[in-house]
Amino acid sequence: MSVLVGKKAPDFKAAAVVNGEDIVEDFSLEQYKGKKNVLLFFYPKDFTFVCPTELHAFQEKLDEFKKRDVEVVAVSTDTEQSHWGWLQMSKDDGGIKGVKYPVVADTNKTISHNYDVLAGEFYYDENDQLATDGEMVAYRGLFLIDKEGTVRHQLVNDMPLGRNVNEALRIVDALQFFEEKGDVCPANWEKGKGGMKASHDGVADYLSKN
The Cα–Cα gap between 137 and 156 comes to 13
Pairing outcome for strands 103-105 and 70-76: parallel
The Cα–Cα gap between 139 and 99 comes to 20
Of 16, 51, 73, 172, the catalytic one is: 51
Q: Among residues 117, 113, 150, which one has the least CA distance to residue 42?
A: 117
Q: Among residues 210, 205, 177, which one has the least CA distance to residue 191?
A: 177
User: Could you confirm whether 185 is annotated as catalytic?
Assistant: no
Burial code (b: 16+ CB inside 10 Å, e: under 16) for 50-73 equals bbbebbbbbbeebeebeebebbbb
The Cα–Cα gap between 166 and 173 comes to 10
Name the residues annotated as catalytic.
Answer: 51
